[in-house]
């Protein structure tokens, strides 16, 4: 069975940061970083990885012809990137514009934002379109298939006798013949000829009239 101390150790949350320092700095930087971040219980500091001297570093565009050293650290207490930068700047004796600090989430976001900074030179015009672009979900083919499927289903209104039964008489099975007969008789009555069908009543002759 695991001890309480073991469970407490497993549940301890750590906070990861990436520290980037431009130019030369103290050789015992790892020890200095740990000491500077003691209030946040800094538990891990990686050995720094130094890049070759470059005319321009992407993280430090204001500095020319310099190198950059990167450290990965972990703290047991939460802290902001600005707090870490302030402590590192004082501990290593470098100015703020020589230090960049990002949390792991900020670093991931930064990589996503700058993943297309270096152009590949590949032209998009004239390149064959990706066949799996799901165009069949929005183009004319999709509309045609949708109308085709809708045409397979016959939509018929619901009859409510005494309200809309006459409107649906021509389409509701069982009621159509009855209403067609009544409707036809009314139409026939409208087109009866006025000659030889109904005798006009002549007014009665009043005796003594001159």
pLDDT in tens, 158-210: 656 665 666 655 555 555 555 556 666 666 655 555 555 555 555 656 555 55
Q: What is the SS3 assignment for 36?
A: helix
Residue 4, helix vs strand vs coil: helix
Average pLDDT value over all residues in the chain: 76
The answer, yes or no, to whether residue 26 has pLDDT greater than 70, is: yes
Please provide the CATH number assigned to the domain covering 4-112: 3.30.70.260
Q: N- to C-terminal Cα distance for the chain?
A: 135
Sole residue written with tokens 């183009």: 139
What is the structure's pLDDT at 43?
A: 86
**What does the alpha-carbon distance between residue 210 and residue 206 come to, in Å, rounded to a whole number?**
9
CA distance 87 to 77: 14
| pLDDT interval class at 24 (50, 70, 90) | confident
Secondary structure class of 68 (helix, strand, coil): strand
Distance of alpha carbon 167 from alpha carbon 47, whole angstroms: 85
Averaged over 141-160, what is the pLDDT?
A: 69
pLDDT tens-digit map of 100-109: 999 988 888 8
Residue ranges with strand state E in the chain: 15-22, 42-45, 49-50, 54-57, 60-66, 68-75, 99-103
**pLDDT at position 198:** 52
44 close to 55: Cβ distance less than 8 angstroms: no
Q: Would you state the pLDDT for residue 8?
A: 52
Average pLDDT over residues 129-143: 66
Per-domain residue ranges for the chain?
Answer: 4-112, 160-190
pTM above 0.75, yes or no: no
Question: In terms of pLDDT, which residue wins out, 202 or 68?
Answer: 68
Q: Mean of the pLDDT values across residues 140-151?
A: 76
For residue 98, give the DSSP letter: G
């Amino acid at each position: 069975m695991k001890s309480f101390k073991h469970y407490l150790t497993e549940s301890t949350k750590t906070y990861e940061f990436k520290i980037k320092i431009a130019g030369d700095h103290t050789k015992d930087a790892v020890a200095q970083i740990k000491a500077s971040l003691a209030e946040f219980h800094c538990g891990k500091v990686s050995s720094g990885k130094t890049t070759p001297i470059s005319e321009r570093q992407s993280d430090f565009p204001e500095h020319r012809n310099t190198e950059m050293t990167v450290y990965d650290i972990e703290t047991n207490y939460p802290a902001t990137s600005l707090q870490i930068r302030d402590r590192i700047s004082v501990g290593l004796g470098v100015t703020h514009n020589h230090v960049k600090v990002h949390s792991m989430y900020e670093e991931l976001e930064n990589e996503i934002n700058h993943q297309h900074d270096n152009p590949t030179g590949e032209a998009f015009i004239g390149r064959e379109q990706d066949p799996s672009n799901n165009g069949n979900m929005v183009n004319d083919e999709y509309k045609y298939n949708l109308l085709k499927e809708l045409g397979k289903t016959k939509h018929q209104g619901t009859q409510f006798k005494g309200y809309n039964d006459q409107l649906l008489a021509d389409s509701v099975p069982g009621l159509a013949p009855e209403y067609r007969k009544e409707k036809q008789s009314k139409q026939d009555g409208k087109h009866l000829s006025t000659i030889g069908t109904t005798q006009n009543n002549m007014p009665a002759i009043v005796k003594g009239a001159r």
